[in-house]
């Protein structure tokens, strides 16, 4: 990917990109250390229209951790995410499936195509 002025191009076909996906995971955490594994507990993605410089769609899911299902007190204080919230969440696998469907729908609508991943 390269930038030319305010247009972003992919290197393989030099077609300008129109949108970016921005993600910002939150994970269970301990103070002064690192959990192993670090499980995602919040899975947000925003679709940004590059030309308009604005968010045009949002995907957001809370993830129920499976390896260490109980959030640390530090994690809740840091993120504001509660145990009750993640208990009502979905698995990471379900979130990835839903994200794939969300992207396909969003790309199809924005670019007027039927099957964006073919």
Q: Which domains does the chain have, with CATH numbers?
A: 20-111 (3.30.420.10)
Give the pLDDT confidence of 21-64 residue by residue, as tens digits: 899 999 999 999 999 999 999 999 999 888 889 999 999 999 99
What local confidence, expressed as pLDDT, does residue 52 receive?
87
Decide if pLDDT at 11 tops 80. Answer: no
Helices (H), the chain: 73-79, 83-87, 92-111
Residue 18: count of CB within 10 angstroms of its CB: 16
CB atoms within 10 A of CB 96: 14
Q: What is the pTM of this model?
A: 0.77
Return the pLDDT at 40. Answer: 97
Query: Bigger pLDDT: 63 or 111?
Result: 63
Closest CA to 47 of 2, 7, 13, 17: 17
Mean pLDDT, residues 72-87: 97
60 forms bridges with which residues in the sheet? 44
């Amino acid at each position: 990917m390269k930038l030319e002025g305010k247009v972003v191009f992919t290197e393989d076909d030099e077609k300008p990109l129109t949108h970016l996906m921005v993600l910002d995971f939150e994970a269970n955490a301990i103070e002064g250390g690192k959990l192993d594994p670090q499980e995602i507990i919040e899975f947000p993605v925003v679709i940004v229209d590059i030309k308009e410089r604005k968010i045009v769609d949002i995907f957001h899911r809370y993830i129920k951790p499976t390896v260490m299902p109980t959030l640390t007190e530090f994690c809740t204080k840091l993120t504001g995410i509660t145990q009750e919230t993640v208990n009502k969440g979905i698995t990471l696998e379900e979130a990835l499936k839903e994200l794939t469907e969300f992207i396909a729908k969003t790309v199809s609508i924005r670019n007027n195509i039927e099957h964006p991943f073919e």
